[in-house]
Amino acid sequence: MKPLHIGDITVTKAVEQVLEMERSYMFPQAMDEIIAPHRDWLSPHFLLPDGKIRMSIHSYVVKTPRYTMLVDTCYGNDKKRAARFGNMLNTPYLRDLAAAGVPPESVDFVFCTHLHADHTGWNTRLQDGRWVPTFPNAKYIMSHVDWDYWQTRKPEDFGYDAIQDSVLPVVASKQAMFVDEGYEIDRGVTMELMPGHTPGAAALNIASQGHRAAQVSKAVCTGDMFHHAMQLIAPQWGRADVDTVLANKTRRGFFERYAGTGVVVLPAHFPDPTAGRIERRGDAFMWTHA
């Protein structure tokens, strides 16, 4: 993804891994006859010739005049996970981040769109047998609603392993901040709830302030509000949504709100070139690259 400039704010992407998988893993409802009319824009970035889909696990680096923020922190290294994509990884993510001018100590805020394993993993790293915060000077911002939801879960529930090794250590270090709808991290950078995938799933809105000549005036980091471009065809196709009805409503509402507006959308799992815009196509929606 090319650097995205929203007034005086710059957004870049830090990739942990790119995945190719059977589409049935994500969307068992995705029939060929439904997809066929949309292959022209789904291929080659989202849909491969063999029918598999391509996805990405990445973070966004948001730099304002005052702060450096990291949106979502991928799977992380050395963590035991049920998903093979995230189990006991050993990637150069931190080294790549530092090479791009973002060493861990330079990060002021980590924004977790929600608390699943592939969005919180690099919150911590293994040091002397203990999980310690990876970004020592950062405040870790999380949705209060999502945190409350996880307080009702049990350690044996799916996903709770990430809470134990990637969230609780930053709570213990007093670096966690649990915030509500509309919280402003910096001027023009605010949290908006996108409930459904998890009860407190959130997006990060990035708006240009006082830069009328800016080519891009607003962008949205959506987290897992949607996972793949095929959901623009059928918003009801979900993956691992806690509340499927609410997740579908949230997706449809987002697509309706932003279609044709020029707002740049930054999903959590779209492969390069990643940034894009939502447009209408008949009774459905489609994606154009920014």
pLDDT at 214: 59
Q: What is the 3-state secondary structure (H, E, C) of 126-189?
A: EECCEEEECCCCCEEEEEHHHHHHHHCCCCCCCCHHHHHHHHHHHHHCCCEEEECCCCEEECCE
pLDDT by residue for the chain (290 residues), tens only, comes to: 999 999 999 999 999 999 999 999 999 988 889 999 999 999 999 999 999 999 999 999 999 999 999 999 999 999 999 889 999 999 999 999 999 999 999 999 999 999 999 999 999 999 999 999 999 999 999 999 999 999 999 988 889 999 999 999 999 999 999 999 999 999 999 999 999 999 999 999 999 876 555 578 999 999 999 999 999 999 999 888 999 999 999 999 999 999 999 999 999 999 999 999 999 998 899 999 99
Tell me the C-alpha distance between 183 and 289, whole Å.
29
In eight-state DSSP terms, residue 234 is: -
pTM of the predicted model as reported, rounded to 2 decimal places: 0.96
Q: How far is CA 126 from the centre of its chain?
A: 23
Tell me the C-alpha distance between 203 and 238, whole Å.
17
pLDDT at 234: 95
Domain boundaries, the chain: 4-289
Q: How far is CA 134 from the centre of its chain?
A: 18
Topology annotation, domain 4-289:
Metallo-beta-lactamase; Chain A (3.60.15)
Residue 15: C-alpha distances to residues 55, 134, 232, 268 (Å)? 11, 17, 23, 11
Question: What's phi and psi for 245, nearest 5 deg?
Answer: -65, -45
pLDDT at 238: 85
